[in-house]
Amino acid sequence: MDYNTYPCTSELAVFIKCYWTLRVPAELSSGRQQVLPDGCMDLIFNLEDDVNRVLSDDTILTQPRAFILGQITKPMWIEPTGRVETFAVRFYPGSFSYFTSIPMAELADQDTKLEKVFDPSKVESLSSAIINESDTQARIRILESFLLSVLKDSVDSTDLVKSTVDKIINAGGSIGIKEMMESYERSRRQLERRYSKDVGLSPKQLCRIIRLQEALRAMLDRNKNLTDVGYDSHYYDQAHFIKDFKDFTGVSPREFYNDDDFTLSSLLYGRD
């Protein structure tokens, strides 16, 4: 697997965590791989053979060629049918809401065709341009031009959602709602409504996912045992760590640790 990330260096950097590419030859792409939640949403182009999304009940859905990967709140697997070539952009939590008026909660746990989010004629032109261009930096410029054309608002650094998302990320997910809200004269209910619309997760869910990511990165350091990983990631105890991990992955930390079918997750989430 050849996975690479590219920083955003334009005025869109406040919204975009990175651009990324993934290339896998057909002979290495067989089998299911799990995709874990990271609190972000991705705009993805599948440029080669079909990739299937496998649900927890073994239902198989073919991913669109161009789509939004919504927030992941339950186990999700993908299964390539041949050669993989992917070009994508990953948005910071809550940032994709600046490009569309669709509530983010409606996109959760789904692969939503771009045509359902943006003007279909613009999507057709964008997809054609991405497909016909082979250079990654050129694709980034094409996609940035599109994103700037659909950008709705500028970022307000005092915005409730952005400010609390920053707090969650900086705290590695180990922060309470009361602590997040101490600077704001608003209710928890107001915060949760805004998170549903702008992030697609509740504040508590985002905290759990960010903390899971902290634990996953620690797990990739094979010199650490799983007990230390749990405590270092600020879980109350091992039972709490195992429960959160199984809720999002469907397996225990030890099963994940020892299973080669999680190679993609290790690759994607082992670095920013």
**pLDDT (tens digit, 9 = 90+) per residue, 61-75?**
999 999 999 999 888
Composition of the chain by helix, strand, coil, percent to 5: 45, 20, 35
pLDDT value of position 177? 76
Joined tokens for residue 264:
């993609």
The rounded percent of the chain whose pLDDT value lies above 70 is 89
Per-residue pLDDT for 269 more than 70? no
Report pLDDT digits (tens) over 144-159: 999 999 998 766 655 7
Within this chain, domains 2-150 and 160-269 share the same CATH topology: no
Could you tell me the pLDDT band of residue 141, with boundaries at 50, 70 and 90? very high
> What does the alpha-carbon distance between residue 264 and residue 71 come to, in Å, rounded to a whole number?
18
Sorted by where each begins, the domain ranges of the chain are 2-150, 160-269
Architecture of domain 160-269 in CATH?
Answer: Orthogonal Bundle (1.10)
For residues 72-101, one letter each, b for 16 or more C-beta atoms within 10 angstroms of the residue's C-beta and e for the rest, the string is bbebbbbbbeeebbbbbbbbbbbbbbbbee
Amino acid code (one letter) for 199: V
> What does the alpha-carbon distance between residue 202 and residue 216 come to, in Å, rounded to a whole number?
21
Task: State in words which class domain 2-150 has.
Answer: mainly beta
Q: Taking residues 195-205, report their average pLDDT.
A: 93
pLDDT value of position 154? 66
> What does the alpha-carbon distance between residue 129 and residue 133 come to, in Å, rounded to a whole number?
6
